[in-house]
């Protein structure tokens, strides 16, 4: 895994401190983990709030198709 991610397992690769959305400076691992967890758990619902509902039905964009096709077994 380390080689795929190009991480040296002997080097220290951790986040030492962050500033959360409220401006609080965090430097303890538990606080940093909780902040990242809260961010990634809420990003989907927060982005969903910005999506405007459609103004027309999806059926307005579909058309009937009379063409067909089929697959036939072949041998080499």
Tens digits of pLDDT across the chain (76 residues): 444 444 556 666 677 888 888 898 988 889 889 999 999 999 999 999 999 988 888 878 887 888 899 999 988 7
Classify burial at 54, counting beta carbons within 10 Å of its beta carbon; exposed 0-12, middle 13-18, buried 19 or more: exposed
The answer to whether 33 and 40 have CB atoms below 8 angstroms apart is: no
φ/ψ (deg, to 5) at 60:
-70, -15
- For 1-76, strand residue ranges (E) read 18-19, 25-26
φ/ψ (deg, to 5) at 56:
-140, 160
pTM check: above 0.85: no
């Amino acid at each position: 895994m380390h080689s795929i991610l190009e991480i040296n397992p002997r080097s220290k690769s951790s986040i030492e401190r962050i500033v959360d959305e409220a401006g609080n400076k965090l430097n303890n691992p538990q606080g940093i983990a909780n902040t990242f967890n809260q961010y990634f758990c809420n990003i989907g619902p927060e982005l969903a709030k910005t999506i405007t509902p459609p103004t027309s039905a999806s059926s307005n964009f579909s058309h009937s198709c009379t063409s067909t096709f089929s697959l036939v077994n072949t041998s080499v």
